[in-house]
Chain A
Amino acid sequence: MLACTAPVIRPRTLRDALQARADRPDATVLAGGTDVMVYMEAGVLQPSAVIDLWGCHGLRGIEARGNELRIGATTTHSDLARDPRVPAVLRESALTVGAVQIQNRGTVGGNICNSSPAGDTLPVWLALDADFQLSSVRGTRRVAAADYWRGYKQTALATDELLTAIYLPEVEGEAHFRKVGTRMAQAISKVIFCGRRSHGVARLAFGAVGPVPLRVRAAEDALVAGAPVSEVVRLVREGIVPIDDVRSTRDYRARVSGNVVGRWLG
């Protein structure tokens, strides 16, 4: 690695963090570092400055607020997996993010903001109707997970904003999470699926099958309307936009995505 001599700003409060972000739009935001440090080591990222959120108060932790669960952006995957208030599918997905050493450091905000289409928690936020809280010195807004990822590594986050929290509404129904990869620990996913269904509601969300994590709405509508499983599976295979890459082919991903849904519903 090239020696990195970039100045590091370590805000203690959210206010200071947002001010730093406004003052230094060029700075790299750092949370657990499990993506950032890899990019630096590989030489693809050479920060001019760093804003480190790790020690920032009020960003880490899980708390119930009204009918919602508020998950701070620097909450780690280990924190998530340990908390019984967190929906089971989300805890399961957190336990598939690398190995224990990665889960102890990697944060939910980092997984969301890194925006790899293969981020394991991303389809789960979609299936659970999560809202992302984006904050800047200009104010705070909420963006639905379904509106957050715009294109490959393009998101709704503005250059002066930080992701500060995720809000999970209380949702009903039966949910299911499945990661398909070469092995459980450390493997980058080939297909990630999170589904949820209850009376009148269906969510079928996928990761690693296109440039962004996505819901297949046509298949969701068919499921709500009571279409046969084979029809839902067909619509899933049609609705995803998978990619060919070193880990897998387009056909394989379409087939597996359908199978995962078929097995869950069947």
Chain B
Amino acid sequence: MTRFRCNGMDVQTGAAPMSRLLDVLREDLRYTGPKEGCGEGECGACTVRIDGEPVMSCLVPVCQVEGAEVQTVEGLAQPVVHAVQSAFLQHGAAQCGICTPGFLMAAAALLDENPHPTREEARVALAGNLCRCTGYQKIVDAVVRAIAKEA
């Protein structure tokens, strides 16, 4: 049995210890925000945060989150929609939406450390996330403007 916290709730799973965190989140716990794009760490669609850090949940065996705090995109919108989510809406940064939860989690982690990133800093922080639709410009626009700069 693996016990951890997910989106602020105590959860547990009887899944085999080497099961992918991605599968436990989606199938056992029904958090379907994290998506499977590639299953090998290349696309970022499965990005979640573990103790605040963005990671690929397709590469984390569930036994390694014992006692940790996991956050998926479902938890990002609690208690209210996160600034970066509003910015994605405002800037049209999502099309088909498959990549969006992963981008949001990577972006939220960046903005916690660096609320006013440059375009270059945003590109580096999002380099592990692939998008086939938007061409990235609008995603970067949303991230650099998510948190209003003080006047």
Contacts and interface: CB of A to CB of B under 8 A. Distances in A.
Which interface class (under 10, 10 to 19, 20 to 34, 35 or more) fits A? Answer: 20 to 34
A101 B54 contact: yes
A239 interface: no
B18 A40 contact: yes
A185 interface: yes
Interface string B108-122: 010000000000000
B20 to A, nearest CB: 7
Interface stretch (A47-55, A117-125, A214-222): A47-55
A64 interface: no
A49 to B, nearest CB: 10
A158 interface: no
B54 to A, nearest CB: 5
Contacts of A105: 55-56, 59-60
Main secondary structure of the interface of A (DSSP, over half): loop
B53 A1 contact: no
Contacts of A78: 53
Contact of B63 (A5, A8, A38, A101): A8
A184 B125 CA distance: 12
B124 to A, nearest CB: 8
Candidate in A5, A50, A78, A105 with the most chain B CB atoms within 10 angstroms: A105
Interface of A: 1, 3-8, 10, 30, 33-34, 37-38, 40-42, 47, 50, 52, 54-55, 78, 98-102, 104-105, 184-186
Interface of B: 16-20, 39-42, 44, 47, 53-56, 58-61, 63-64, 66, 106, 109, 124-125, 127-129
12 contacts: A4-B18, A37-B59, A37-B61, A38-B40, A41-B40, A55-B64, A99-B44, A99-B128, A100-B54, A100-B127, A105-B55, A105-B60
